[in-house]
Structure 1
Amino acid sequence: MSNIGIIIPERAADIGNFMVGRLLPFIEKRSVGPFVFIDHMGPAELKDYQNLDVPPHPHIGLSTLTYLFEGAIMHRDSIGSALEIYPGAVNWMTAGKGVVHSERTPENLRHTDKKLHGLQIWVALPKHLEESEPTFHHIEAKDIPAWEEDGLKIKLIAGKAFGKESPVPVHSPLYFIEIINESDESKTVNIGEHLYGESALYILEGQIKNDGNAYDPKQILIAKDTKLCSFEMAANTTVYIFGGEAFPEERYIHWNFVSSSKELIEQAKHDWKDQKFPKVPGETEFVPLPVSSLK
């Protein structure tokens, strides 16, 4: 019997002037462990007149994780952070009680042809940290634990697994793992003993097989039992495994806000409408609150 409980397809979503593939949340599965939102950006070929421009917008109650495969993004936030992220590095921003940030093509790339490809992830915060002070951390690619095992390239991008720990300062037990099979032959992967809580697998490229079934890119596979996590990776395949311990309380998601409290979300909506959130230094634009958001 297959250990795959739910298959989530990638669905098109508009984030302003850029289309993405939305993976989480899904009607049958709102979250996986503390992971509540995943967007697959690209791969996009942008001309010299095309740029990513997501103006300042707010968050509460979550941490954002940005991980690029190609291209670069300029991050600015209301804490005062201003930093470019490149492939393999991690931007980890914890919103807590409220933060505002923008994401744009860096100035040096705005008038050239470029590519953009990566993942944007939201991780919910434990209830006692939902109203904490916002923070931002950037972790260079060279500082992410990476090793080879049984012919596979493995990275522990965030969290704890395999007896290792990523320097990304996560706030609850979780893992976000990259596994790449660059060889010309299939490889069997047995990692159930290293995982915990809820677990899911995203196929970026290539193909995996599980119990005689083949699965292609642009979908998430949710495991029924983390301990039984075993699959076959075809040649030239890249997957991301993520999950961890789920919270005891339900998490509500509305627009850019995540919280265990509907009241906090309502307050955040009104605060953004009234422009009471902190500002991103040097930026005057902002993403308006969707009209349908207010009661």
Structure 2
Amino acid sequence: MTEDIFLQTLHPTTHDLGGFKVHRTLPHRERTMVGPFIFFDQMGPAHLATGSGIDVRPHPHVNLATVTYLFAGAIEHRDSLGTFARIEPGAVNLMTAGRGIAHSERSPGDERARGPELSGIQTWLALPTAKEEIDPAFEHVAKDRLPLVGSGAAQARVVMGSLWGASSPVTCHSETIYADIQLGAGGSMPIDPEAEERALYVAEGEASLDGLRLEPAVLYVLRPGTRATLRSGTGAHVMLCGGAPLDGPRHVWWNFVSSRRDRIQQAKEDWRAGKFTLPPDDHDEYIPLPEARPLTVSYP
């Protein structure tokens, strides 16, 4: 029965970053992408010490888009376009790197003062070949602009794309679906084949798909065409992601994604040479290019 529903089961690589853990399921040695999703990280949940916070110093990206979606806490985003944005739970930050962008992510001062919470999902979307070198852009979409479907013990927020008859206003560079499903005790939600490639991820709680238990922090890739019902006896927080297969393989090295290895090499040289613009209000420090081949995000 399991083989009829799941194409692959991707267990995470977990990193303890001191005070909180990150569970990474994409890229994976068994699979690089689900639709355009080429990076899938769960941050936390964690409650950091008073006066502390996260400080992801300025770093570069090319040929991808990042999607930040929080369950708890807040993050301040700054980028080389001059953008400053504070993201809070239920809202979306979409940053399109295109031909190149640098950004930082830090805990706000008011969060640090009371001991920041941190919980959410950060994903990267590979761009279609024809859009890899588009101009960089940033888009913040507030929680109240994202459609909420369902009621009672089963609700889903459509983060990207169209699902259950509702469409998100967030820009999609290729066919993409992304949803935040909240199930209360006894809640259920249909999972229909809106996209060729789809995966489910239990971020919190317990859930099952047509009676098959889903482990937390594991990415379950569904077989194309599968129709099933997601259920929870005691409550769960589940992410659904996917879309159309991208137009060819992608290479990943550190923070760079591209259809061409030579483009990644150029991005490495440009960052090392200081050719990326840093955020104008966060430029006193940055993350240097790794001297050795990074292991956590590096797959052919």
Output the TM-score relative to the length of structure 2. Answer: 0.91
Mean Cα deviation higher: 151-160 or 120-129:
151-160
- Residue 129 of structure 2 contacts residue 247 of structure 2 at CA under 8 Å; is this kept in 1? no
Quote the residue 2:297 is aligned against: none
Quote the residue 1:178 is aligned against: 180
Quote the residue 1:111 is aligned against: 113
1:132-281 alignment to 2 at 5 Å?
132-149=134-151, 151-182=153-184, 184-187=185-188, 189-193=189-193, 195-210=194-209, 212-281=211-280
- Give the residue type in structure 1 aligned to 2:140: H
- Residue 17 of structure 1 contacts residue 52 of structure 1 at CA under 8 Å; is this kept in 2? no
Q: Quote how far apart the aligned CAs of 1:211 are.
A: 5.1
- Give the residue type in structure 1 aligned to 2:119: H
Q: Which whole-Å deviations, capped at 9, do the CAs of 1:255-278 have from their partners, x for residues lacking one?
A: 000110111100000000111011
> 2:291 aligned with 1:291, yes or no?
yes
- Cα distance between partner residues in 2 of 1:293 and 1:16: 23
- Residue 53 of structure 2 contacts residue 115 of structure 2 at CA under 8 Å; is this kept in 1? no
- Residue 88 of structure 1 contacts residue 141 of structure 1 at CA under 8 Å; is this kept in 2? yes
- Give the residue type in structure 2 aligned to 1:197: E
Q: Quote how far apart the aligned CAs of 1:152 are.
A: 1.2
Q: Quote how far apart the aligned CAs of 1:50 are.
A: 1.8
- Residue 15 of structure 1 contacts residue 54 of structure 1 at CA under 8 Å; is this kept in 2? no
- Cα distance between partner residues in 2 of 1:181 and 1:43: 18
Mean Cα deviation higher: 256-265 or 102-111:
102-111
Q: Quote how far apart the aligned CAs of 1:8 are.
A: 1.5
Q: Which runs of 5+ in 2 are unaligned?
A: 295-300
Mean Cα deviation higher: 241-250 or 227-236:
227-236
Quote the residue 2:57 is aligned against: 55
Mean Cα deviation higher: 149-158 or 241-250:
149-158
Structure 2 CA distance for partners of 1:78 and 1:85, relative to 1, 3 Å: same
- Aligned with 1:227: secondary structure? coil
- Cα distance between partner residues in 1 of 2:207 and 2:238: 9
Mean Cα deviation higher: 9-18 or 127-136:
9-18
- Cα distance between partner residues in 2 of 1:60 and 1:8: 26
Output the TM-score relative to the length of structure 1. Answer: 0.93
- Residue 101 of structure 2 contacts residue 277 of structure 2 at CA under 8 Å; is this kept in 1? yes
- Residue 206 of structure 2 contacts residue 233 of structure 2 at CA under 8 Å; is this kept in 1? yes
Q: Which runs of 5+ in 1 are unaligned?
A: none
Quote the residue 2:66 is aligned against: 64
Mean Cα deviation higher: 58-67 or 150-159:
150-159
Q: Which whole-Å deviations, capped at 9, do the CAs of 1:172-213 have from their partners, x for residues lacking one?
A: 11100122111x3253x33324x2120000001222224543
- Cα distance between partner residues in 1 of 2:291 and 2:41: 23
Structure 2 CA distance for partners of 1:263 and 1:15, relative to 1, 3 Å: farther
- Give the residue type in structure 2 aligned to 1:190: P
- Residue 223 of structure 1 contacts residue 229 of structure 1 at CA under 8 Å; is this kept in 2? no
Aligned sequence identity (%): 38
- Cα distance between partner residues in 2 of 1:178 and 1:60: 27
Quote the residue 2:81 is aligned against: 79
Q: Which whole-Å deviations, capped at 9, do the CAs of 1:236-285 have from their partners, x for residues lacking one?
A: 11211110001121111110001101111000000001110111112210
Structure 2 CA distance for partners of 1:222 and 1:212, relative to 1, 3 Å: same
- Residue 257 of structure 1 contacts residue 268 of structure 1 at CA under 8 Å; is this kept in 2? yes
- Cα distance between partner residues in 2 of 1:134 and 1:255: 19
Equivalent in 6, 9, 12 of residue 11 of structure 2: 9
Q: Quote how far apart the aligned CAs of 1:230 are.
A: 3.4
CA-based RMSD of the aligned residues comes to 1.9
- Cα distance between partner residues in 1 of 2:190 and 2:111: 41
- Give the residue type in structure 2 aligned to 1:217: P
- Aligned with 2:226: secondary structure? helix
Structure 2 CA distance for partners of 1:263 and 1:230, relative to 1, 3 Å: same
Structure 2 CA distance for partners of 1:114 and 1:262, relative to 1, 3 Å: same
- Residue 17 of structure 1 contacts residue 53 of structure 1 at CA under 8 Å; is this kept in 2? no
- Cα distance between partner residues in 2 of 1:19 and 1:222: 23
Equivalent in 27, 30, 38 of residue 28 of structure 1: 30
